[in-house]
C-alpha cells in the first residue's frame, strides 16, 4: 500500500471573522477513491485561519494512514506562499497555525501547490456543506 498521498484542502467562513468550517479530501498516489474526507465546523474565525485548520486536520488524518509523502493542493495563495516561506506570517492569529502545520509536515516529504478554485471544488464543497448543516 502506497504511503504517498495527494490532498486538497479548503476553509470556509461566513463573515470574516465568522462561523468557519474546513474541508479536505485525500487520495493515495495514483488512486481515484478518497481515503480521507474531512467536513466539519471549527467555530468562529477568519477565512485564513480556516484554511490553515483544513491543512492541519488533513495532514493529521494522513499521518494516521501512514503517510510519508504528501502533495498538498490549496486555493489559498496566502497559505501556500507562507508555507513555502515566500511570504512572512505577520498576523498573530496565523503564527501558531503556521508553526503547527510546519511541525506536522516536518517528518514528511511534502510539497504544496496553489491551484485555482475550479481545481479545488471537492474540498470547497465539503467545507461549505459543514457550514450549511
**Domain encompassing residue 85:** 4-132
Number of DSSP helices (H) and strands (E) in the chain, helices first: 4, 5
Count CB atoms within 10 A of the CB of residue 54: 31
pLDDT digits (tens, 9 = 90+) for 33-88: 999 999 999 999 999 999 999 999 999 999 999 999 999 999 999 999 999 999 99
- Residue 84: the pLDDT is 98
Evaluate whether 126 touches 39 at the Cβ level (below 8 Å).
yes
Mean pLDDT of 20-45: 97
Confidence bin at 24 (pLDDT 50/70/90): very high
Whether the bond into 17 is cis, omega within 30 of 0: yes
What is the number of domains present in the chain?
Answer: 1
- Residue 29: the pLDDT is 92
Query: Could you give the percent of the chain with pLDDT greater than 90?
Result: 97
Q: What is the CATH number of the domain that holds 124?
A: 3.30.420.10
Determine the Cα–Cα distance for residues 4 and 18; give it in Å rounded to an integer.
35
Count CB atoms within 10 A of the CB of residue 62: 26
Amino acid at each position: 500500500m502506497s504511503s504517498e498521498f495527494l490532498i486538497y484542502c479548503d476553509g470556509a467562513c461566513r463573515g470574516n471573522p465568522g462561523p468557519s468550517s474546513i474541508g479536505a479530501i485525500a487520495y493515495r498516489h495514483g488512486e481515484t477513491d478518497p481515503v480521507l474526507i474531512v467536513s466539519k465546523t471549527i467555530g468562529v474565525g477568519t477565512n485564513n485561519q480556516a484554511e490553515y485548520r483544513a491543512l492541519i486536520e488533513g495532514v493529521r488524518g494522513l499521518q494516521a494512514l501512514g503517510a510519508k509523502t504528501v502533495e498538498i493542493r490549496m486555493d489559498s495563495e496566502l497559505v501556500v506562499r507562507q508555507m513555502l516561506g515566500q511570504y512572512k506570517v505577520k498576523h498573530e492569529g496565523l503564527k501558531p497555525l503556521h508553526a503547527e502545520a510546519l511541525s506536522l509536515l516536518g517528518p514528511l516529504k511534502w510539497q504544496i501547490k496553489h491551484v485555482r478554485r475550479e481545481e479545488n471544488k471537492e474540498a470547497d464543497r465539503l467545507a461549505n456543506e459543514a457550514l450549511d448543516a
